[in-house]
């Protein structure tokens, strides 16, 4: 998404409603400094922050995105990608832009040697995951089954099964997951992790 375009549109929508930055900050629970940075295109807002801004403007998040979309093209620059460093020492990067109404994610994950990323719950029927290993070794667990993949290997599975990812190898593993999830993703590692 073009941050400058998004910021200008949010500023326009705020002005159209006769709201000051202070007024929008109060109703959206987003700080004035964050709102100002977003409006100037200097900061990429998270989905949560955009949702709060949308609500403050009296819109839904999909409506805000639709109003600020640039001809149906959404660009997510590398610097804008969400990089999550998990406490267990592994990292995932959400590569794809947020597209309202589209339940698709493309994620790159790096698991250090011997790292277990935990378990994920079974998603709703109709959910899918595609996995491609760039480097190292990846163990994919599906309910009570496990499949070991090496660099260049790929896998598809219906994501309506409990599943988990681990690196049993001695080198770091980098893999990609392309997922179509038919409901909100909720990590249930604590509840599902084996003891």
Whether 39 has a pLDDT exceeding 70, the answer reads yes
Which one is predicted more confidently, 18 or 66? 18
C-alpha neighbours within 13 Å on the C-beta side of residue 185 = 15
The pLDDT value recorded for residue 100 is 59
**Under CATH, to which class is 3-68 assigned?**
mainly alpha
Beta bridge partners of 156: 130
Which one is predicted more confidently, 43 or 2? 43
For 81-192, CATH number out of 3.30.505.10, 3.40.50.10740, 2.60.120.10, 2.70.50.60 equals 2.60.120.10
The pLDDT value recorded for residue 72 is 63
Residues 142/163, Cβ–Cβ less than 8 Å: yes
Task: Tell me the longest C-alpha to C-alpha distance in the chain.
Answer: 60
The pLDDT value recorded for residue 193 is 40
Residues of the chain with CATH 1.10.260.40: 3-68
Q: Mean pLDDT throughout 19-41?
A: 93
Please report which confidence band the pLDDT of residue 47 belongs to, taking 50, 70 and 90 as the band edges: confident
User: Percent of the chain beyond pLDDT 70?
Assistant: 88
In the numeric block, the tokens 């910021």 are attached to 7
Please report which confidence band the pLDDT of residue 181 belongs to, taking 50, 70 and 90 as the band edges: confident
C-alpha neighbours within 13 Å on the C-beta side of residue 134 = 11
Per-residue tokens: 71: 């001809």
In the numeric block, the tokens 């378990």 are attached to 119
Please report which confidence band the pLDDT of residue 45 belongs to, taking 50, 70 and 90 as the band edges: confident
User: Percent of the chain beyond pLDDT 90?
Assistant: 49
Q: pLDDT by residue (tens digit) across 132-147?
A: 999 999 999 998 899 9
Q: Mean pLDDT throughout 48-63?
A: 88
Residues of the chain with CATH 2.60.120.10: 81-192
Tell me the pLDDT of the chain averaged across its residues. 85
The pLDDT value recorded for residue 183 is 53
Instruction: Tell which residue, 126, 146, 138, has the closest CA to residue 176.
Output: 138
For residue 169, give the DSSP letter: S
């Amino acid at each position: 998404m073009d941050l400058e375009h998004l910021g200008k549109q949010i500023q326009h929508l705020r002005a159209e409603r006769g709201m000051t930055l202070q007024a929008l900050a109060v109703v959206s629970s987003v700080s004035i400094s964050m709102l100002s940075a977003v409006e100037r295109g200097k900061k990429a807002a998270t989905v949560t922050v955009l949702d709060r801004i949308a609500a403050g403007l009296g819109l839904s998040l999909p409506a805000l995105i639709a109003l600020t979309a640039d001809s149906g093209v959404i660009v997510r620059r590398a610097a804008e990608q969400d990089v999550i460093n998990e406490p267990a020492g592994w990292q995932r990067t959400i590569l794809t832009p947020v597209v309202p109404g589209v339940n698709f994610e493309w994620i790159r994950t790096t698991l250090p040697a011997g790292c277990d990323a935990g378990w994920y719950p079974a998603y709703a029927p109709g959910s899918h995951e595609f996995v491609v290993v760039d480097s190292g070794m990846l163990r994919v667990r599906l309910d009570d089954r496990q499949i070991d993949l090496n660099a260049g290997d790929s896998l598809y599975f219906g994501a309506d099964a409990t599943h988990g990812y681990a690196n049993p190898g001695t080198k770091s593993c980098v893999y990609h997951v392309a997922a179509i999830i038919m409901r909100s993703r909720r990590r249930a590692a604590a509840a599902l992790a084996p003891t």
